[in-house]
Structure 1
Amino acid sequence: MNHKLYLPLAASIMAFMGVNAQQKKSISTIVLSNASDIELIDKPIIIKRNVIDKAGTAVGFPVLIYKNDTITSQVNDLDGDGKWDELFILDNFAAKEKKIVQLKWVNEAPKFPIRTSVRFGKREAENIPLQPATSESVNAHQVYKALGFQKYQTDGPSWENDKVGFRHYLDGRNAKDVFGKKIPAITPENVGINSAGAVEDNYHQMYDWGRDVFPVGSSAGLGGFALQVDNEITRLGILGADTLNNIEKTNFKIVAEGPVNSVLNYQYNNWKASGNNYQATETTSIWPGMYAYKNTVKIKGLKGNETLLVGLSNINNQNGLKVIEVGKWVCLIQHDNLTYKREWIMGTALILPKKDYLGYIEAPKTGQLTDSYLAKMKIVDNTSVRYYAVAGWELSADKNFKTPQDFTNYVTHLAQQLAVEITVAVK
């Protein structure tokens, strides 16, 4: 596992990993405009393929040039049909800045630094070495306790950028955990396995790059979700000691893994809650520059009496919760020695759309979902809710998260940045 994990569609997903770009087609002009009064750093922009390739017949890769510099970007194949669907761009903008950029189609593309990554490995038996993978299907009985061994590297997929890392417990628990990073480099591929290729919890100790820092317990972690039907709360999945999942089948896939964007998708089929079966989809996306990831949740089969609950583990929090409105967002912020054994200072937060926010509750003291603040979110059948989960560790390389005000300032500034949409005009 000392090699990098790439998708079969690497030539498309890792769009700009070649060299010696050559012009393929005539140049078009695209205008990118920041109408806001704030500076934007590492701002993501998504341009759908049909905007710049209306006929869908363009050959090669699109490259954007601004003042003789190539803008960092990649293409993503979101539906897995072998053709890229979107151009994902990452760029900086001054307040009120307008950039007139040139679009070129090239046979090969420039190489960009790798600033996001996904790591996933699995094994089919305890005595079989773990292998890298890009997808997985899990039935209700294929959970950790029933199998008798941990099937997955780091309990499930992990994803990161140059600031922070996260992991998802695919073993049935579906909680979200945090890797604190001390350096911007991507962490080693062998985190969570030993030299023999066996799964090993070796990431709860400090390395040069950092470590797992966040206690999850019976919570949904940072950004995991649950469903409230009337007054009954149902966890998405189970606890580690349970032998049968409340989800009939979970399908996981790495959708994209590239220099500036990595995307993961989960399909939860027949999630049993309060006597109903729900179909849930979760898409997780990360890009460089932010101590956060984006999560999008969509549920089918809603009857109208359901509330989405987004979790914020509050283990080791003795300082309560701060709720701050920032434009179209609501920020739920906590800051304390939130790490294992209260050893380090850490802040965690949720950035939630104000239009869907219905307040928050504390999870029950006992049961399947505990140790959490739970943000209540309005949810409409088969309609997406998007939010962001934020984690700032005091040992992070380039930010000071030691005081509550430092972390609060970071979260609110990030919310302001996320609210800005870059206008795209194709000439």
Structure 2
Amino acid sequence: MKKSIQLGLATTAVAALLSSCKTQQNGQTKMVLHNTSEIVLPQKAVEISRKAIANADKSTNFPILLHGNDTIPAQVNDLNGDGKWDEIFLVTDFSAKEKKEVELKWSETDPKFTVRTSVRFGKRAAKDQPVKPATEEILPANEVHKALGYQRYQTDGPTWENDKVGFRHYLDGRNAKDVFGKKTPGITPENVGINAKGEVEDDYHQMYDWGRDIFPVGNSVGLGGFGLLVDNQIKRLGILPTEKVNTIETTTFKIVSEGPENSVLSYDYHNWKVNDNLYQAHETTSIWPGMYGYQNTVSVDGLKGNEQLLIALSNINNTNPLQEVEAGDFVCLIQHGHLTYDKQWILGTAIIVPKKGYKGFIEAPKTGEITQSFLAKFDVKNNETVTYYAVAGWELSADPNFKDATYFANYVTTLAKQLTAKVEVKVN
């Protein structure tokens, strides 16, 4: 599932890197990465467009970014699937107002940086067939979990993770987002959710050295799922687990990129029927190292003007008031408590949503297509993208301070300010 054009991470001495990787000595590019903000930016994601690089024809080679005696881990992403990379993606630390002078070289050899993001997706062709790795899927309306009578997908759908936390998407028609708590920074095993016979098996609701699934979803759409408010009626993207025919005619899924610095997933929901209307929805999910969360970007076409976009925060087991805090360009909806299965552990969850278009939040009713959730409302236009973030801080993660509600809230609001901060890229 790893794409050969992708690469990875881990800061390494330049001398060691150059001794192990054959680099091209011509066509070098110098650039300046400038943190324009007054705040420190740890593990800040930076995207450099292909159009900004003069020698971008080296599309089959690997970028090496040199900053003094250090190497900044980077990878190239082909976002539109045309076989040519569209951006260089990197994650690095910035002090306040820092300018990093960086030299870009191209290596004919993959430098094999440490892997800190990953996507796992497996499916089986029939109930008696073993699960096999896959990079894409097309799901018709009549082939959802309940209609098939068995679970086709490993972990109910794709999982994605970084060095801090993992998530999964219920591709089987429910389209909810779940949380894997991670106790270690390494990538979780590829066979999670598969038994020795290659069958789909729910083995991730028990504790392993790496962690486990910790988040109850029920009939919510989990942490960061979305839907629509149509004529003040809450409408789910897809169906409840008891239903046999999807409200979405065809769902397509694809792993766009899987690299050590960044992994990207894409979903298209074709002819999503709500009342007498058909919508076309698109979703892109991205994750990079260092953040206890993921980025999601969604858009909907076919809007008639009587709809609002809903972004969800499951509140199962929550007994504390929801916090609504403005930070940077965002509004943070934060909850904290024993939000895990059977209330075993303390977990903080949050969605960080843009101020633009935000119209407050509602709580879902106890019955209906989406329940047990807080729902952030947005005024949107056709095909207008909304980018937001979903965050999960578990007390058994690498940061035990998430046990404290104030600490988690501060983490979320600080992260929102860091996400607001801009890094300018100047190519010489």
Match of 1:14 in 2: 7
| Residue 149, structure 1, aligned to residue 160, structure 2 | no
SS class of match (2:407): helix
Q: Which moved more, 1:393-402 or 1:180-189?
A: 393-402
Find the aligned partners of 1:24 and 1:381 in 2 and give their Cα distance: 47
Q: Which amino acid aligns with 1:326?
A: A
Match of 1:265 in 2: 266
Match of 1:187 in 2: 188
Find the aligned partners of 1:83 and 1:15 in 2 and give their Cα distance: 18
Match of 1:166 in 2: 167
Identity percentage over the alignment? 61
TM-aligned CA deviation for residue 59 of structure 1: 5.8
Q: Deviations over 1:154-210 (max 9, x none)?
A: 000000000000000000000000000011111000100101100000000000000
| Residue 64, structure 1, aligned to residue 57, structure 2 | no
Match of 2:417 in 1: 416
Whether contact under 8 Å (2:180, 2:212) holds in the other structure is yes
Find the aligned partners of 1:67 and 1:300 in 2 and give their Cα distance: 47
Whether contact under 8 Å (1:116, 1:257) holds in the other structure is yes
1:13-412 alignment runs, 5 A limit = 13-14=6-7, 19-53=20-54, 56=57, 60-412=61-413
Whether contact under 8 Å (2:253, 2:267) holds in the other structure is yes
Whether contact under 8 Å (1:144, 1:243) holds in the other structure is yes
Q: Which amino acid aligns with 2:235?
A: T
Q: Deviations over 1:389-408 (max 9, x none)?
A: 00011100234111210110
TM-aligned CA deviation for residue 111 of structure 1: 2.0
TM-aligned CA deviation for residue 421 of structure 1: 1.1
When residues 322 and 55 of structure 1 are mapped into structure 2, their CA distance, relative to the original with a 3 A threshold, is closer
Find the aligned partners of 1:126 and 1:14 in 2 and give their Cα distance: 35
Q: Deviations over 1:20-51 (max 9, x none)?
A: 13125232210100121111111100001111
Find the aligned partners of 2:21 and 2:154 in 1 and give their Cα distance: 37
Find the aligned partners of 1:237 and 1:59 in 2 and give their Cα distance: 39
Q: Deviations over 1:350-398 (max 9, x none)?
A: 0000112110001121022100000001211111100000001110023
SS class of match (2:408): helix
TM-aligned CA deviation for residue 55 of structure 1: 6.7
Q: Which amino acid aligns with 2:396?
A: L
Q: Which amino acid aligns with 1:82?
A: G
| Aligned length, in residue pairs | 420
Q: Deviations over 1:211-267 (max 9, x none)?
A: 000000000100000011121211000011100000000000000000010000000
TM-aligned CA deviation for residue 311 of structure 1: 0.7
Q: Which moved more, 1:167-176 or 1:232-241?
A: 232-241
Whether contact under 8 Å (1:347, 1:392) holds in the other structure is yes
Find the aligned partners of 1:289 and 1:193 in 2 and give their Cα distance: 28
When residues 57 and 196 of structure 1 are mapped into structure 2, their CA distance, relative to the original with a 3 A threshold, is closer
With the length of structure 2 as denominator, give the TM-score of the two structures.
Answer: 0.95
Whether contact under 8 Å (1:74, 1:89) holds in the other structure is yes
Structure 1 runs of 4+ with >6 Å offset = 15-18
Whether contact under 8 Å (1:27, 1:104) holds in the other structure is yes
Find the aligned partners of 2:247 and 2:322 in 1 and give their Cα distance: 30
TM-aligned CA deviation for residue 91 of structure 1: 0.7
SS class of match (1:417): helix
Q: Which moved more, 1:158-167 or 1:364-373?
A: 364-373
Q: Which moved more, 1:391-400 or 1:263-272?
A: 391-400
Find the aligned partners of 1:217 and 1:281 in 2 and give their Cα distance: 24
SS class of match (1:128): coil
Q: Deviations over 1:107-131 (max 9, x none)?
A: 2242211000000000011110000
Find the aligned partners of 2:7 and 2:79 in 1 and give their Cα distance: 13
With the length of structure 1 as denominator, give the TM-score of the two structures.
Answer: 0.96
Find the aligned partners of 2:25 and 2:149 in 1 and give their Cα distance: 55
Whether contact under 8 Å (1:223, 1:311) holds in the other structure is yes
Whether contact under 8 Å (1:232, 1:274) holds in the other structure is no
Find the aligned partners of 1:336 and 1:273 in 2 and give their Cα distance: 35
TM-aligned CA deviation for residue 80 of structure 1: 1.1
Find the aligned partners of 2:331 and 2:199 in 1 and give their Cα distance: 42
Find the aligned partners of 2:307 and 2:242 in 1 and give their Cα distance: 27
Whether contact under 8 Å (2:119, 2:158) holds in the other structure is yes
Find the aligned partners of 1:92 and 1:102 in 2 and give their Cα distance: 16
Q: Which moved more, 1:137-146 or 1:76-85?
A: 76-85
SS class of match (1:70): strand
Find the aligned partners of 1:59 and 1:158 in 2 and give their Cα distance: 28
Q: Which amino acid aligns with 1:173?
A: R
Q: Unpaired segments of 5 or more residues in structure 2?
A: 11-16
SS class of match (2:332): strand
Q: Which moved more, 1:248-257 or 1:231-240?
A: 231-240
CA-based RMSD of the aligned residues comes to 1.5
Find the aligned partners of 1:209 and 1:136 in 2 and give their Cα distance: 28
Q: Which amino acid aligns with 2:279?
A: Y
Whether contact under 8 Å (2:220, 2:373) holds in the other structure is yes
Find the aligned partners of 2:24 and 2:110 in 1 and give their Cα distance: 10
When residues 397 and 244 of structure 1 are mapped into structure 2, their CA distance, relative to the original with a 3 A threshold, is same
